[in-house]
Amino acid sequence: MNEHDDDARTWSSDGWTAQVRKNEDDEGWAVTMTRDGDAEPVLTSPWTMGRDKKNPKPLNPGDFKTLLKGANDVLTRHMAHARAQRHRSVTVVDDAGAPVRVDLDIAADEDDPHAMLTAWTDDGEQLAQRRVAPNFRLSSASASKWVSGGYGDA
């Protein structure tokens, strides 16, 4: 359900609110997209002036849909970046000459900071997994040491 105010500067739907505001940085207008429950907007963008060149163009359902897609795209990119920051991977060779991929995944858990070190075969079979400190430095050398040591202490 779309809900909007009388001058069509605020629209709320699907857990999001779009709001057209005076741009604090210049004389124009900006639109923000804020997810329900969030303190800060996910997306802020310049907004078009209306025909009178003083007031903003009113929001409409098509505008809201476009802004919603843009805000979701921003969230998707942000989550992908956060995942990439918490994941590292190297491939080393075990004592038998077989490749072993070693992944380090840092948990996004402020109450219990840790990371998981996991070894995988080429076929995707998990060989071992061990909990390590969140600041563990994964490198070819540290992965090789862990693999050649029989997946004991890393």
**Using one digit for the tens of pLDDT, what is the confidence trace for 9-40?**
899 998 999 999 988 777 789 999 999 999 99
The domain locations on the chain are 3-84, 94-148
- Predicted TM-score (pTM) of the model is 0.62
DSSP for 41-92, written as a single string = -SEEEEE-B-TTSSSBPPP-HHHHHHHHHHHHHHHHHHHHHHHHHHEEEEEE
- pLDDT value, residue 91: 97
Instruction: Tell me the mean pLDDT in the region 99-109.
Output: 93
**Using one digit for the tens of pLDDT, what is the confidence trace for 44-88?**
999 988 888 888 999 999 999 999 999 999 999 998 998 888 899
